[in-house]
Structure 1
Amino acid sequence: MRISTVTMFEQSTASMNRQQSDLMKVSQQIASGRRVVNPSDDPQAASRAVGVDQAKAVTEQFSDSRVSARNSLSQTESIINSVSDAITSAKGLLIQASSDTLTDENRESIASELKGVYETMLGQANSTDGNGRYLFGGYNDSNPPFVKQGDGGVVYQGDSNVREQRVDATRLMPVADNGETIFKSVPSGAGYVAEAKKEDGTLNQGSVTFRGPQINNVNDADYGDDFRITFTSDSAFNVETFDGTDWNPVNAALTNVPYTGNQDDTAQQVSYGGVSINLSGTPEVGDSVLVAQADGEQRQPDLFRTMEEAIRVLENPADDATKKADQRNTLNTAMRDLDNSLDNVLTVRASAGARLNELDVIDSVSSNRMLNYDQTLSDLVDLDYTEAISEYILRQVGMQAAQKAFVDIKGLSLFNYM
């Protein structure tokens, strides 16, 4: 068989090109540190590596999300801590104001301090995060959630939703509580609160004061019902409940009940639904004392309203029996409201702290997951340098052999044998 010179040149060139290609491939692997430089190197490993890379990217995105959530929760926890300190300070001022040794001027001075605490709370309630969003407005976070009205009252204008953020594939975490949860709520089981006001919300005209209420029997059939004690004269009263439309006497036994709390400075105990309250003083017709659940429909909790009522009675001189009774009753109600608010704020703070701890746990799990992803990617595409260097040396030898063979074949000629 005759082998032409062209054929020898072509075969030698093809051999050198193959060796050069193999050498370049190993060189790329060594330079990049990857066994799979192109998908064609190992299609199955390349395909699996793409999936692992995507999962790794999603995990990193959740990690960034947790940083944002942690910042928001940390700020929330810090502000709530300040609110709890303010409530404690306000409670101390009210206890001080309740002393009978203080003058009206002393109480007015305490009212000034209480106003400062009140304004501090309002500022904290309208706190913003680093992006200018209001923390406690729910999803309505572009406007202040608490707005002071012309009459001095504060109205909540946020929504009742809780802002949430996905911090892991299976966890959607609340990252900021709304203002209603913090400033207009009480914890479950807060009990009852009494308030001395008429049915239309105006102040009583008599000098009736109360102590309590106390819970005596939670198994009573009527426990949980709100009730109102309304005086029909200075010596009788009705115990009424709300039927959804109006207040009506409970039954005949609690209608026109003789009142003896205005005699000889003695207190009369009134009981209904497993709850009792002690009354004393002289009433006027139409005066009422509401005994309602702290989170009931008849008396919605409101920290700012509590502070406003306390400031009102401390600013006004108690120069007659009616005003003294209003002052005592309002301070008693305010202190119980502040106790409930403090319990609620501490509960919310504990919840924020628990979520911060949960983020730490999720971060730990995510770190382990990232290590697993890195190990999987390494097993799929990373290079074994020992094997690669041996392969590189082998390809160099092959390349040199091909070149030497080409040189030797190129020099062959029949004239060498003539």
Structure 2
Amino acid sequence: MRISTVTMFEQSVSSLNRQQSDFTAVGQQIASGRRVVNPSDDPQAASQAVGVAQSISITEQYTDSRVSARNALSQEESVLNSASQAISSAKTLLVQAANGTLSDADRQSAASELEGMYNTLLGQANATDGNGSYLFGGYQDDAPPFVQDPNGDVSYIGDSNSREERIDASRLMAVADSGDAIFNSVPSGAGYVATAARDPSGDGNVTFTGPSRLDATAPGYGEDAYQINFLDDSSYEVVTTAPDGTTSTGPAQGYTTGQTVELGGGALSITLEGTPDPAGGDSIEVNPADGAGANQDVFATLKSAIDVLKTPVDGDPGRQADLENTIATSMRELDNSLDNVLTVRASVGARLNELDVVDQVSNNRMLSYEQTRSDLVDLDYVEAISEYSLRQVGLQAAQKSFTDIQGMSLFDQL
């Protein structure tokens, strides 16, 4: 068989190119640190690596979402902490204002201080997240959720929704709470709140202490509302209102100052002191704290306290009774509002703790993904360096063979 010079050169060049290509490919692997530089190097591994890379990208997106959620919840927790301190300070001030030795001027001073706390709390309820969005407006976060009318009454104009973020594939977390649920609500089972309604044209000066819980297992506890109606200065009747609105009136009973009245068949008790108006018309309502008939608005509570502290009472037993009853009611309502704020704050803290747990799980998942991707496409340097040395020897051998072959000629034998 005759081999032409052209054929010999073509085969030698092809061998050189193949050896050079293999040598360069291994060099690229070592330089990049990856076994699969191009999809053609290992199509199956490259395909699986794309899926793992997508999973890593999704996990990173959830990580960014958790950072945003943690920032929002941390801001809310800080505001709720300030709000709880403001409510506690207001309650402390009311305890001082209830001192019977204070003069009208002293109470005016206390009212001024309470107004400062009121404005502070209103500012906290309208706090923003630093980007112009209001924390407690629900989905309507482009305007202050709490607005004050010319009469000083505060109303909530946000919605009842809570903004949520998906922090993981299977977890949608609330990152902000509705202001209505924080400042206009009380925790379930907060008990009862009493309010007095005195006939302003009469001479009554009844005050109350309580109500106190006697038996929370009694039928209707936490659902029924009660109203003590004074028929004259020595008798009263109790009207019970069921949740469906039906009422039942008990028989008239005798009244003496300092008397303890049991309500709901022994579920509650309230202590009454003072003298009702002889013509009747005075009453005391006892409503479930989380019921429709009770005030759950912390701003309305503070406004009522401020108004009564500004009213002169020296020398007027009726107004003195109004002062004592309003402060007693306000303190019970502030207790419930504080409990509610602390409950929401505890919920925020629990969500922050959950974010830490989800972060830990996500970090473990990322390590697993990275290990899987490394196993698929990353380079084994020991094996690659050995292959590199082998390819280098092969390339050098091909170059040497080509040099020797191209120098062969029959004329050298003549």
TM-score (norm: length of structure 1) = 0.93
Map 1:194-213 → 2, pairs under 5 A: 194-197=194-197, 205=202, 206-213=204-211
Alpha carbons 1:93, 1:110 under 8 Å: kept: yes
* Counterparts of 1:260 and 1:401, CA distance in 2: 119
* Higher deviation after alignment, 404-413 or 8-17: 404-413
Residue 258 of structure 1 corresponds to which residue in structure 2? 253
Residue 276 of structure 2 corresponds to which residue in structure 1? 283
Which secondary structure state, in structure 1, belongs to the residue aligned with residue 197 of structure 2? coil
Which secondary structure state, in structure 2, belongs to the residue aligned with residue 341 of structure 1? helix
Structure 2 stretches of 5 or more lacking a match? Answer: none
Letter of the 1:237 counterpart: Y
* Higher deviation after alignment, 328-337 or 348-357: 348-357
TM-score (norm: length of structure 2) = 0.94
Q: CA deviation at 1:298?
A: 1.1
* Counterparts of 2:6 and 2:262, CA distance in 1: 121
1:371 to 367, 374, 383: 367
* Counterparts of 1:57 and 1:203, CA distance in 2: 70
Identity of paired residues, percent?
A: 61
Query: CA offsets, 1:193-212, max 9 Å, x none?
Result: 001127xxx86853221111
Which secondary structure state, in structure 2, belongs to the residue aligned with residue 228 of structure 1? strand
Residue 218 of structure 1 corresponds to which residue in structure 2? 216
Letter of the 2:288 counterpart: Q
Letter of the 2:263 counterpart: S
* Counterparts of 2:262 and 2:275, CA distance in 1: 15
Residue 188 of structure 1 corresponds to which residue in structure 2? 188
* Counterparts of 2:254 and 2:143, CA distance in 1: 51
Residue 354 of structure 2 corresponds to which residue in structure 1? 358
Map 1:35-54 → 2, pairs under 5 A: 35-54=35-54
Which secondary structure state, in structure 1, belongs to the residue aligned with residue 137 of structure 2? coil
Which secondary structure state, in structure 1, belongs to the residue aligned with residue 164 of structure 2? strand
Letter of the 2:236 counterpart: F
Sort the Cα spacing of 1:403 and 1:204 in 2 relative to 1 into closer, same or farther, 3 A: farther
Map 1:18-37 → 2, pairs under 5 A: 18-37=18-37
Alpha carbons 1:204, 1:287 under 8 Å: kept: no
* Counterparts of 1:246 and 1:344, CA distance in 2: 27
* Counterparts of 1:82 and 1:241, CA distance in 2: 39
1:389 to 375, 385, 390: 385
* Counterparts of 1:219 and 1:382, CA distance in 2: 68
Residue 346 of structure 1 corresponds to which residue in structure 2? 342
Residue 121 of structure 2 corresponds to which residue in structure 1? 121
Residue 296 of structure 1 corresponds to which residue in structure 2? 291
Structure 1 stretches of 5 or more lacking a match? Answer: none
Residue 235 of structure 1 corresponds to which residue in structure 2? 234
Q: CA deviation at 1:42?
A: 0.8
* Higher deviation after alignment, 271-280 or 324-333: 271-280
Query: CA offsets, 1:233-284, max 9 Å, x none?
Result: 3333332233679774x24xx14x13423xxx43352422412222232334
Alpha carbons 1:77, 1:352 under 8 Å: kept: yes
Map 1:307-318 → 2, pairs under 5 A: 307-318=302-313
Q: CA deviation at 1:17?
A: 0.8
Letter of the 1:314 counterpart: L
Q: CA deviation at 1:29?
A: 0.5
Letter of the 1:9 counterpart: F
Aligned length: 408
Which secondary structure state, in structure 2, belongs to the residue aligned with residue 106 of structure 1? helix
Which secondary structure state, in structure 1, belongs to the residue aligned with residue 276 of structure 2? coil
Which secondary structure state, in structure 1, belongs to the residue aligned with residue 61 of structure 2? helix
Which secondary structure state, in structure 2, belongs to the residue aligned with residue 347 of structure 1? helix
Q: CA deviation at 1:4?
A: 1.1
Alpha carbons 1:197, 1:288 under 8 Å: kept: yes
Which secondary structure state, in structure 1, belongs to the residue aligned with residue 307 of structure 2? helix
CA RMSD of aligned residues (A): 1.8
